[in-house]
Structure 1
Amino acid sequence: MAATAVLWGSAFPAIRIALGGYSPTSIAVLRLAFALLFLLPAAFTGRISRLRRGDAVRMAAFGLTGMTAYQLLLYAGERHVEGGTAAMLVATSPVFATVLGMLVLRERPGAWGITGLLVALSGALVVAMSGGGGGGSQTGMGMIVLAAAAQATSFILQKPLLRRYSGMDCIFYGSLFGLLPLLAFSPEAAGHLLTADGGQTAAVVWLGLGCTVLAFCTWSRVLQAAPASTSSLVLYAVPVAALALDAVLLGAVPGPTAALGGVIVLAGVALAAIRRAPARTAAPSRQVARGGPAQPEPATTESTDERTASTV
């Protein structure tokens, strides 16, 4: 969970750096292309599972929402919104994920999960109201909120796939489907690749390797261990990491109000996590029986919180 927060948090300063030499569409094309390039050795060695015909539509929808729509909306929005503020707006994604998880996956986040979400959301609002050290246009902020909704939709689409595919499988096929509608912008991306400076290109490469391949691997492990509505709480820590990295890499130091909001965010995440910790030792036989995420979950009357704890 911590690795996911840091890796995704690093995307926001990386995007700000990359936008100095690349357009939003060029960044999206190259980010997915680099991600696929890094995953090719795994595909050649058979570590990427074969996509079943019945899962092709869901996997394509996952790629189009989580890879194509999310990235285009986020990059376009960050042209007009400061990185810290953008990160806090993306933090609304768990709200969409919780609602979709209840409606589509019939998940029950539980009273403590909802409480933790509300506390973390209040921290996100504090930082957003403070501006995270900067402001932005209403159009840019609207794009980023739509990006958060697209991201939440992709999480809901991905979770059933993780019963049959690994996180690496989902990243590979999601990036492949996500890249297809962007191929028309390949010439523009190639031109920017020739004219951008080394730092801007390094930021794009990191977006493909660190913020896509590595981050989605760690995130998939989180999704395998908990309901989407609960595991998405980790996304509230992403803005905190983004603000910290902005300060270290770009010298954008958050103000006192933004720092207070970050503390509230972490408190909300901790509230949901600490509630589940005492139940980790419960029902060890059920842990063994489950074996792994690829096996279907047996029918049970235990609560979502109890299932999450025993799985972790």
Structure 2
Amino acid sequence: MNVRRTELLVAGAVVITLVLWASAFVSIRSAGAEYAPGALALGRLLAGAVVLGAICAVRREGWPPRDAWRGIVWSGVLWFGFYMVALNWGEQQVDAGTAALVVNVAPILVALLGARLLGEPMPPRLLAGMAVSFAGAVAVGLSMSGGGGSSLFGVVLCLLAAMGCAGGVVAQKPALARASALQVTTFGCLVGAVACLPFAGQLVRDAADAPLWATLNMVYLGVFPTALAFTTWAYALARTTAGRMGATTYAVPALVVVLSWLLLGEVPGAVTLLGGALCLAGVAVSRSRPRPTAPAARPVPCPEEASEPA
């Protein structure tokens, strides 16, 4: 019963994470028009740190153990800090489809780094699911590309963002064995905010000129896709492998298509819908488990054989 309850909680945490991260792409596109990449990342992290710090204080979580800090610091610098700045900057240089396509290299890097550094297995189902999902991500990316809106510099920024994300996930995994998901997320967010402090002046200038809706989008990014979604991600990551969790993020492009349809009125084409379906199918394959093989039936001896002396 407890195992089943844990599986349901992990599944719920994964769904919350993916939906909120998908919504972040819509908010980043909106707020990024008014805030510089570093300023947007710092504002988002500060909003998230305030919420997470308040929850930690109420729950009396305290400081993480000393042996968890290495993973927290690396994940904070690489994922909370570097990844967010590079992604914000990259999305200003390339079209949305190209950005989504390049950033979706991250789950593959997570699986490879997890196998190399953490000794995690790479079962055939995981590899097959990732291949299917990546094909879907390619379809979504190409269908969303506007053509001519990409630059080599922007592609490099998105690739660096994917590398930062992968490194942060793999660094976070060992820390979750020594500290709670809330502690790892809270202090990782704080480390990321400290790393982004050089953008404080730009944040003050942008906030003075930005319309209210852009600032509210930035706060939303900090409270929900950062504070809540990174915590639910850490909860689920602590209970599975980095490779399998990374593969689930291939559902994000499909969710982005749906949210863009509902919130921005961007009606997806047939290729986009097919790509989204492939993304979801690949995630399902990567998270599936092989059916247990039934034990071979032992032959029943005939009465004559049973009566013979041993």
TM tier, shorter chain? 0.7 to 0.9
Paired residue for 2:164? 150
Q: CA deviation at 1:252?
A: 2.6
Q: Helix, strand or coil for the counterpart of 2:289?
A: helix
1:261-272 → structure 2 map (5 Å cutoff): 261-272=275-286
Q: Helix, strand or coil for the counterpart of 1:200?
A: helix
Match of 1:119 among 126, 132, 146: 132
Paired residue for 1:253? 267
Paired residue for 2:200? 186
Where does structure 1 lack aligned partners over 5 or more consecutive residues? 280-312
Match of 2:100 among 87, 90, 112: 87
Equivalenced residues, count = 278
Paired residue for 1:172? 186
Where does structure 2 lack aligned partners over 5 or more consecutive residues? 1-13, 293-310
Paired residue for 2:61? 48
Q: CA deviation at 1:180?
A: 1.3
Question: Rg larger in 1 or in 2?
Answer: 2
Match of 2:234 among 211, 216, 220: 220
Please report the RMSD computed on the Cα atoms of aligned residues, expressed in angstroms. 1.8
Identity %: 33
Does the CA contact (< 8 Å) of 2:70 and 2:175 recur in 1? no
CA change 1:270–1:54 in 2 (3 A) is closer
Q: For the residues of structure 2 that align with 1:259 and 1:38, how far apart are their CA atoms?
A: 36
1:18-167 → structure 2 map (5 Å cutoff): 18-132=31-145, 135-167=149-181
Does the CA contact (< 8 Å) of 2:97 and 2:143 recur in 1? no
Q: For the residues of structure 2 that align with 1:224 and 1:268, how far apart are their CA atoms?
A: 22
User: When the two structures are superposed, what TM-score results if normalisation uses the length of structure 1?
Assistant: 0.84
Amino acid at match of 2:242: A
Q: Helix, strand or coil for the counterpart of 1:226?
A: coil
1:6-21 → structure 2 map (5 Å cutoff): 6-21=19-34
Q: For the residues of structure 1 that align with 2:48 and 2:96, how far apart are their CA atoms?
A: 23
Q: For the residues of structure 2 that align with 1:94 and 1:179, how far apart are their CA atoms?
A: 24
Amino acid at match of 1:172: T
User: When the two structures are superposed, what TM-score results if normalisation uses the length of structure 2?
Assistant: 0.84
Amino acid at match of 1:48: E
CA change 1:166–1:83 in 2 (3 A) is farther
